[in-house]
Chain A
Amino acid sequence: EIVLTQSPGTLSLSPGERATLSCRASQSVSSYYVAWYQQKPGQAPRLLIYGPSSRATGIPDRFSGSGSGTDFTLTISRLEPEDFAVYYCQQFDNSPQTFGQGTKVEIK
């Protein structure tokens, strides 16, 4: 199984700042099969980004994904108050599909 390791565990930033979240895979994954989710307390995850750079319906363009091979990045260009949450990466290139352990973006 492919293990996804997300870093940092917690990111402390202020609104308006840029957030860069990392997801490293234990073996190479096609960028077409990587996704990112946002989860707020008490809620189900919400799909943000999938494939190389596709945003899910209703996701603002301040969210973007990039990467290849084993290293993938979610970037939030300018943090809005509603962006403070936990973010998970997912790979669905190999079975079983797996998720990272999450990065919490908190208000500094």
Chain B
Amino acid sequence: QLQLQESGPGLAKPSETLSLTCSVSGASISSSNYYWAWIRQPPGKGLEWIGSIYYTAVSYYNPSLKSRVTISLDTANNQISLRLSSVTAADTAVYYCARPLNAAVVRDVFHIWGQGTMVTVSS
């Protein structure tokens, strides 16, 4: 059974780079024909797609965040990483990793989600 688990520091300082990890169990990301996504949710607000990465390491980002975001694969540890630079209070959110329902499709419904990790940006 596929499971996703996000982890990372709960607190980041303004202007720093935030690094989060999504650990995948039940499937190998290096051979899984899916786009793996990061999605975030500010407190009390809606969801925002951050970006997605394919098992070939091809990635797509939300234009609103593209200049600050890098998503990468750590195949040795079966993890997907998110780096967000120059963070501000507006980046305070629960960050989720998710897998779409359909293989090889970057725009799709999200079928499997991690439980999310809360990140607060504050000095």
Contacts and interface: CB of A to CB of B under 8 A. Distances in A.
Partners in one complex: yes
Interface of A: 1, 33, 35, 37, 43-47, 50, 56, 88, 90, 92-93, 95-102
B49 A33 contact: no
Interface of B: 45-49, 60, 62-64, 96, 98, 101, 106-111, 113-116
> Interface on chain A toward B: helix, strand, loop, or mixed SS?
loop
Sorted nearest first, the 5 A-B pairs with minimum C-beta distance are A44-B113, A99-B47, A92-B107, A101-B46, A35-B109
A44 B114 contact: yes
Contacts of B96: 44-45
B109 A101 contact: no
A97 B116 contact: no
A35 B47 CA distance: 13
Most chain B Cβ neighbours within 10 Å, of A97, A98, A102: A97
